[in-house]
Amino acid sequence: MATLTTKSGAVITFVPSKVDVVADHHDSTGEAVTCVYGIPPVMLTIDETVQEFMGRLRVEAHFAQLTRPNGWPVWIRASSVSAIRTPVPGEYPAAVKAVISTDSLTQAVRETLTEATSALNAHGGEL
């Protein structure tokens, strides 16, 4: 078990393997803050950097770093990915080449389907 403290001060004890996705910016607001997906069904924001959080949990090897449509990095736990697909025409901006689904988040990325699949499989994915 591990713990984290949200920016609002809530202390949460959780199983590290339940973290699906970590990002260094809030996708909706653009705020530079670490966002954690997968523990509860909502995004959590914390004061630790992505590197501090993942390093403390010792989970770096399980996450592939990919690129959100706006160019910001996103780290996805490879074993959490249930599907990866090409985007439907008009679904996302032209920069999006693949769409990744986990239980907690669907994330569009700039990497091609082949690049994203390779990156995820290199970190324990089964795609």
pTM above 0.85, yes or no: yes
58-to-2, 17, 98 alpha-carbon distances in Å: 11, 10, 27
- Domain boundaries defined on the chain: 2-121
Q: Does residue 57 have a pLDDT over 90? A: yes
Structure tokens at 47: 């004061």
> Tens digit of pLDDT for each residue in 84-114?
999 999 999 999 999 999 989 999 999 999 9
CA angle 43, 35, 13 (to 5 degrees): 70
